[in-house]
Amino acid sequence: MTQSIQTEGYALQELEKEAGMGAMGEETFAREVRCIDLSDFENRKSEIADALWSAAVEIGFFQVSHHGIALSDIRQAFSMTEDFFSLPDGVKAQYPLARNAGWENKSQVRPSTRTPDQKESYQITRPLMQPLWPSEQELPAFKQTMLGFESRCWQLGMKLLSCFALKLGFPEDFFEQAHNPDQQTYQSTLRMLHYYATEQSEQGMWRAGAHTDFDCLTLLFQRPGQGGLQVCPGKDRESQQWTSIEPREDVITCNIGDMLMRWSDDQLPSNFHRVRSPLPGEYQGARYSLAFFCQANKDVEILGPQAKYPAISAEDYLQQRIQANFAKG
């Protein structure tokens, strides 16, 4: 039996159920999600680290600008994402989700809703991909393009995590060593997401139920005009004060995940977010997003600076969270 992961005296699964109880039409709450400029990073690193820490502690979400990933690369990755999801289901089914890599369709069931998310996804985890890449005939240049984008996401993720390492008293390269892409134990993941266009009869269904992420840090890329993302700090879960995040292609939205919350001895909160379905009068078409999850290598030990929780391997931690969020076959 999978052991529940405890945080602040509650099981995360129970918190997720609580966080999903709000109504679709509820009023949103105005809350600042800070946008942090990463330009001249090396010379401004101390200042940037302070800003990241402050934003993360207060809300668990922040955005970054001047992040170094070219807009043309982001647009190309989105174009490839659309091309992949346009393939027939029979082709995509040749590359099924297994061990956190591959394609799934409406199989992710959040504890907050107990119904499948209204989406399909394809996950790229480097050491697990050998049997899961579409052929060049099916999707030319797909593998090369998406691996290049995954690498750029990793570089940015490690840059941001180096700031959190400094604030936690770890060596500056602590998280870079813990997320080594050259090892077979690497488990950081790039997830391509396609939320289905909605019908009027589907009003009230969640595209993605309220949840926290399993990882250390998530980088989320969104397309303008394809909204729905809402966030709620854990401290506000009872009042259900949700804030909408408008999609912009010039910034990346980031959030702290469960793994870093534990690694920081709960100093950095992993906060709830969800994707609501469009309301009447809003764009009802497909929504695409790209998420990169910085997840420590399987054999890395997670232990906070004050050892608030017992040590656990990143593999065991991640498996516990995955099993709680995907439907059994």
Backbone angles phi, psi at 109, to 5 degrees: -110, 110
d(CA 133, CA 298): 22
Tell whether the model's pLDDT for residue 21 goes beyond 60: no
CB 271 within 8 Å of CB 232: yes
**Residue 36: per-residue pLDDT:** 98
Give residues with Cβ within 8 angstroms of 254, minimum separation 6. Answer: 61, 62, 63, 64, 160, 217, 218, 219, 220
Radius of gyration of the chain from Cα atoms? 19
Which residue's entry shows tokens 């590359």?
Answer: 95
CB 258 within 8 Å of CB 5: yes
CB 81 within 8 Å of CB 290: yes
**Residue 236: per-residue pLDDT:** 52
CB 257 within 8 Å of CB 216: yes
Comparing CA positions, the residue from 172, 158, 155, 268 lying closest to residue 213 is 268
Kindly report the pTM of this predicted structure: 0.88
- Look up residue 203 and give its two tokens: 């009003």
Comparing CA positions, the residue from 60, 34, 30, 16 lying closest to residue 243 is 30
- Look up residue 289 and give its two tokens: 């997003």
Span of 26-35, 96-105, 217-226 with lowest mean pLDDT: 26-35
Backbone angles phi, psi at 178, to 5 degrees: -75, -15
Confidence of residue 11 (pLDDT cuts 50, 70, 90): very low
More confident residue, 26 or 194: 194
More confident residue, 10 or 176: 176
**Residue 201: per-residue pLDDT:** 41
Backbone angles phi, psi at 25, to 5 degrees: -90, 10
Q: Match domain 1-327 to its CATH number in 3.40.50.2300, 3.40.50.1100, 3.40.50.1370, 2.60.120.330.
A: 2.60.120.330
Q: What is the pLDDT of residues 26-61, one digit of tens each?
A: 556 677 789 999 999 999 999 999 999 999 998 889
Residue boundaries of the structural domains of the chain: 1-327
Tell whether the model's pLDDT for residue 168 goes beyond 70: yes
Angle between helix axes 45-58 and 142-168 (nearest 10 degrees) is 90
Q: What is the pLDDT of residues 294-313, one digit of tens each?
A: 999 999 999 999 999 999 99
* Strand residues in the chain grouped as ranges (E): 6-7, 10-11, 35-37, 61-65, 102-105, 119-124, 189-195, 208-211, 217-222, 229-232, 243-244, 252-256, 272-275, 287-294, 301-302, 312-313
